[in-house]
């Protein structure tokens, strides 16, 4: 979600009129005829579009000994005028519960290789290998988090429908905005993340999301849910957003479940906050009990996978606009009077994934990382 903040700093847009639900073609429509597509190396190219858009490659990690972290490259173009890149990393509970190591640095002299699948900048590289099944991520951009990681795909990568993309705008022939997601749901990770006080041996699970957001972030979504759940055998990922009223509060919810080296299902999902408890009366309804569902890939009517239960206490709460100029904040706050916030949760062996895998029903506990984002 960090692209949101970055993008927002450059955007003082206007409220959009109400175009209604007919002005959005959710990727879930594509899923009615084609539930998902397996990713090829070509699907993992950076697009580097020449109009306003934000591309991110984000890798989430759980080590076998229970550490949670992620790293991310953001490539963003503002108004077709200026391109900036940022490298972010976060290690959760680095110095005890709630004390996270967060590094965010602008990148210089960035560029791509010829197939446009590897990214380079001063003191930083994120390279996809020849086979298209592993990334190496190296960064000495910030001494507070020196990174040397290899992420290897175990199950196939996928995008929902034909192209993983939701299109915005009343004219289907000429959409004015888009949102694409592509996933590697189950990977292994090796390597190190090194801080001045500790070197983490990164042996464990990884998960990767590519995102391309081709429009202004607050016009695209007012709520987000993201789930990454990894068990010894299964991996379940879910990405859901709700558009603002301008696109009819349409919910786009997609994801998939992998088992070892295969996909069990991919397509439609649903995230519910069953109970919520704001810290104060004038606060966002922070989720406490959740229900995450992965639907069957034929008609999306039956549940193939589910996680139900209480979230752990939040590991972090991030004010999206914290570092923005006041005039941008007041603009964004206008609608609700509340500041956009991201709630993050991470737990090990507290929640259980139930999967209908062929004839059998399997339950496995696992490691959870999830985010609930409230924008407006
Ligand atoms: C990064 O890790 C690889 C393999 O784990 C190792 O061979 C290499 O020397 C490391 N590079 C640095 C700069 O530490």
Structural domain contains residue 44: yes
Structural domain contains residue 185: yes
Relative to the CA of 148, which ligand 1 atom is closest?
A: 1
Structural domain contains residue 149: yes
User: Tokens 């999902």 identify what position?
Assistant: 269
CB-CB contact of 292 with 270 (8 Å) = yes
Q: Which residue range forms the structural domain that includes residue 108?
A: 18-374
Check pocket membership of 148 for ligand 1, CB cut-off 6 A. Answer: yes
Structural domain contains residue 90: yes
User: Pick from 278, 276, 308, 315: which is nearest to 290 by CA?
Assistant: 308
Residue nearest to atom 11 of ligand 1 (CA): 148
Q: What is the CATH number of the domain that holds 30?
A: 2.40.370.10
Pocket test for ligand 1, best of 129, 135, 148, 188 (most atoms within 8 A of CB): 148
Structural domain contains residue 2: no
Structural domain contains residue 47: yes
Structural domain contains residue 164: yes
Torsion angles phi and psi, residue 217, rounded to 5: -60, -40
Structural domain contains residue 219: yes
**pLDDT value, residue 125:** 98
Q: Which parts of the chain sit beneath pLDDT 70? A: 1-16, 217-218, 322-337
Question: pLDDT tens, 254-291?
Answer: 999 999 999 999 999 999 999 999 878 778 999 999 99
Check pocket membership of 244 for ligand 1, CB cut-off 6 A. Answer: no
Domain count, the chain: 1
Residue nearest to atom 10 of ligand 1 (CA): 148
d(CA 147, ligand 1 centre) in Å: 10
Check pocket membership of 204 for ligand 1, CB cut-off 6 A. Answer: no
3-state secondary structure labels for all residues of the chain: CHHHHHHHHCCCCCCCCCCCHHHEECHHHHHHHCCEEECCHHHHCCCCCCCCEEEEEEEEEEECCCCEEEEEEEEEEECCCEEEEEEEEEECCECECCCCEEEEEECCCCEECCCCCCEEECCEEEEECCCCCEEEEEECCCCCCEEEEEEEECCCCEEECCCCEEEECCCCCCCCEEEEEEEEEEEEEEEEEECCCCEEECCEEEEEEEEEECCCHHHHCCEEEEEEEECCCEEEEEEEEECCHHHCCCEEEEEEEEECCEEEEEEEEEEEEEEECCCCCCCCCCEEEEEEEEECCCCCCCEEEEEEEECCCCCEEEECCCCCCHHHHHHHHCCCCCCCEEEEEEEEEEEEEEEEECCEEEEEEEEEEEEEEECC
pTM, rounded to two decimals:
0.93
């Amino acid at each position: 979600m960090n692209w949101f903040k970055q993008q927002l700093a450059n955007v003082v847009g206007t409220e959009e009129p109400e175009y209604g639900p007919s002005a959005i073609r959710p990727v879930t429509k594509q899923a009615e005829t084609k539930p998902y597509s397996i990713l090829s190396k070509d699907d993992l190219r950076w697009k580097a579009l020449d109009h306003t858009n934000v591309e991110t490659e984000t890798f989430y990690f759980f080590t076998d000994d229970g550490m949670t972290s992620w790293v991310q490259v953001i490539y963003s173009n503002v108004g077709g005028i200026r391109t900036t890149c940022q490298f972010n990393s976060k290690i959760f509970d680095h110095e005890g519960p709630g004390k996270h190591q967060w590094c965010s640095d602008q990148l210089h002299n960035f560029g791509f290789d010829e197939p446009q699948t590897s990214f380079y900048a001063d003191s930083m590289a994120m390279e996809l290998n020849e086979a298209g099944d592993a990334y190496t991520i190296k960064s000495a951009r910030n001494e507070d988090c020196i990174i040397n990681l290899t992420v290897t795909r175990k199950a196939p990568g996928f995008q929902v429908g034909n192209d993983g993309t939701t299109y915005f705008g009343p004219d289907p022939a000429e959409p004015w905005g888009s949102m694409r997601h592509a996933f590697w749901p189950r990977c292994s990770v090796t390597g190190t993340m090194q801080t001045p006080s500790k070197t983490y041996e990164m042996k464990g699970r990884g998960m990767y999301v590519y995102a391309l957001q081709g429009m202004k972030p607050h016009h695209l979504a007012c709520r987000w849910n993201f789930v990454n759940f990894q068990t010894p055998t299964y991996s379940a990922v879910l990405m859901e957003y709700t558009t603002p009223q301008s696109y009819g509060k349409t919910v786009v919810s997609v994801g998939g479940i992998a088992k070892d080296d295969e996909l069990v299902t991919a397509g439609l999902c649903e995230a519910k906050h069953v109970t919520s408890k704001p810290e104060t009366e004038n606060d966002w309804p922070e989720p406490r009990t959740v229900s995450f569902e992965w639907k069957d890939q034929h008609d999306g009517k039956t549940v193939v996978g589910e996680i139900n239960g209480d979230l752990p206490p939040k590991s972090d709460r991030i004010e999206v606009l914290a570092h923005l100029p006041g005039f941008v904040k007041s603009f964004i706050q206008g609608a609700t009077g509340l500041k956009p916030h991201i709630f993050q949760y991470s737990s090990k062996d507290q929640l259980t994934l139930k999967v209908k895998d062929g004839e059998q029903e399997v339950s496995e506990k696992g490691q959870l990382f999830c985010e609930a984002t409230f924008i407006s």
